[in-house]
Structure 1
C-alpha cells in the first residue's frame, strides 16, 4: 500500500477540519471574555470561558463547517475503500488465488504490487 495523494489529502482535510474547530473554540472563548468585560466583569475565569466556548462551539462548528466535515468524511471513506481493496488483494495472493481486478487499472488488468 502506498502513501500517495489519497493519504496526504486525508491528512490535509482532517487537519483543516480540526484546525477550524479549534479556532472556533478560541474565538468563542475570546468573545465570551470580551462580553464579560463589557458587562464589567474584569476577572472572568478563562477556564470557565473556555468550557462555555466548547459547549457553544460543538453544535456551531457542525453547522458552520459542514463543507469541511463532508470533505474530511469523503477522504476517510476513499482511504478506507482503498485500504479494504488492498487488503482483499493481499489475502487473495496469500491464498494463491488470482488477485481481484482493480477497477482503476487500465483494461481491467490486475494491479502489480
Structure 2
C-alpha cells in the first residue's frame, strides 16, 4: 500500500472514529438530560431543558471517559498515526529543501 493511500486511510479512519465518539458523547448528554427531566417530573418539579442539558453535560464528561474508553483509545491511535505521517512528510520536505535528494 502506498504512503498516500495509507495516510488517506488513517485520516478517514480518524474522521469516522472522531465523529462516532462525538455523536456517542452528545447522545449520552441527551439521555442524561432526558433522565433528569423525567425524574424531576416524577418528583413534581419543573426543570428547564437548558438546566437539564447543563447537568447532563457535567455528568457526561467523566462518565464518557469510562463508557467510551475503547473508542477514545482508537481516536488517540488514529491521531498518532496521522501525526507520524505528517512528521515524516515534513522531515522529507526539509531534507529536499536542504538539497539532500535521497
Compute the TM-score of the two structures, normalised by the length of structure 1: 0.81
1:64 equivalent in structure 2: 67
- Say which structure is richer in helix: 2
Distance apart, 1:36 and its partner CA: 0.5
* Bigger-Rg structure (1/2): 1
Structure 1 portions without partners, runs of 5+: 100-113
Runs of 4+ in 1 over 6 A off after TM superposition: none
2:43 equivalent in structure 1: 39
Compute the TM-score of the two structures, normalised by the length of structure 2: 0.90
Q: CA RMSD in A?
A: 1.4
Higher relative contact order (CA 8 A, sep 6+): 2
Q: How many pairs were matched up?
A: 98
1:111 equivalent in structure 2: none
1:66-105 mapped onto 2 (5 Å cutoff) = 66-99=69-102
